[in-house]
Structure 1
């Protein structure tokens, strides 16, 4: 498990396959299989990635549990459904506050972690602001959270349905949410190519780097080859 943004994390839950799965999937047309990854197999993986022969990479899958701010979750999901690469093996299941009242947590940037607006772009961010401004921003955010949680707790205590009481939960984009994400090896690599890029939002880039570390531990040759050629 990789810790991200304080209480956030990425956990690799399950894996099907290995670099060897990619090799054997590619060579099945020749009725050839191997039980050990050899140098020529690594060359084959790089050849497949370089020439966009990607179907063998879809015979391996990874399942992650992610705990992250809602702003990261929605950005993550929008990428998956809006990407030109539609991975047919993607699955997403998220915890629902209609059914559970698990502990409510929020992502709180430290006073020295509030970034400035970029000078030449409508999105993204620039250097960190002065800590005085950051401290005031954090203080205002905490006040907003306290006020919203007071109303949420009042609603729960007075019998309001959980699915409506959650309307009071404040700072929606900072609310920590939990989900399972399952994708093919190719799908994971496409996500990493986009979200580890320097133009990606800082917070989701930290999560993508955690995914990359975990995926690379299990598919070192394939992840490197795919990211080099996407």
Structure 2
């Protein structure tokens, strides 16, 4: 019987993210933690919720790595994907001589396929934040949004036109793709442990993060919250 949560999708700007598979739940976390005592439970109770909070607060993270999620991202701009890629570093763990990555991804490759003319177009162009040099003002649009959109579209059209012309000249795809604007829509599969996903949400659903990546973090949080609400809350809200 198909799990009710698998296949659930949420819109992310003009793309979407889908929970395609997962393993585990809050109960998996507490059972992993209690295996040292040779104990296993089949139902959660208040003691288990307290245990989860204790594990998160004291950075006992290995039990949270027994819950794993796989997401499919479609039509998400490369700008957003590049920020997601950074969590290979932010979510990797070292054990002795070996590095155990808690997250991985696979994406469509411009070396193998020719890109389609699909790009992310913001519904509004936000103003720069007055005090935070890296942030924008959510909900505050520049005065001439129409002009900004026209300039944006012109740059995209020129970049994609150059890409097509290079291909027509016989230039290989792996070089022609270098002129593609970073607003092109990408598709990828991302698999990560609960610990890694919570780390991503904690860092990216933050007022200092770019709004587009915040929207992705918010959507992913909604997708997994019904599966592991206690663990997610404990990990996201624990002190850094």
TM-score (norm 1): 0.88
Structure with a larger share of its residues in strand: 2
Does the 8 Å CA contact 2:102/2:192 hold for their aligned counterparts? yes
Residue 12 (structure 2) aligns with: 4
1:11 partner SS: strand
Q: Structure 2 CA distance, aligned partners of 1:207 and 1:199?
A: 14
Q: Could you tell me how far 1:70 is from its partner in structure 2?
A: 1.1
The correspondence for 2:154, drawn from 139, 143, 146, is 143
Asked if 1:198 is matched to 2:198, the reply is no
1:35-50 aligned within 5 A = 35-50=42-57
1:182 partner SS: strand
Q: Structure 1 CA distance, aligned partners of 2:132 and 2:233?
A: 31
Does the 8 Å CA contact 2:108/2:187 hold for their aligned counterparts? yes
Moved more, 148-157 or 42-51: 148-157
Asked if 1:27 is matched to 2:39, the reply is no
Structure 1 gaps of 5+ residues are none
TM-score (norm 2): 0.85
1:217 partner SS: coil
Q: Which runs of 4+ in 1 moved over 4 A?
A: none
Q: Structure 2 CA distance, aligned partners of 1:190 and 1:164?
A: 35
Q: Structure 1 CA distance, aligned partners of 2:34 and 2:132?
A: 47
Structure 2 gaps of 5+ residues are 1-8, 94-100
Residue 190 (structure 2) aligns with: 181
1:1-230 aligned within 5 A = 1-6=9-14, 8-67=15-74, 68-81=76-89, 83=90, 85-87=91-93, 88-110=101-123, 113-126=124-137, 128-131=140-143, 133-169=144-180, 171-172=181-182, 174-230=183-239
Structure with a larger share of its residues in helix: 1
Count of aligned pairs between the two proteins: 222
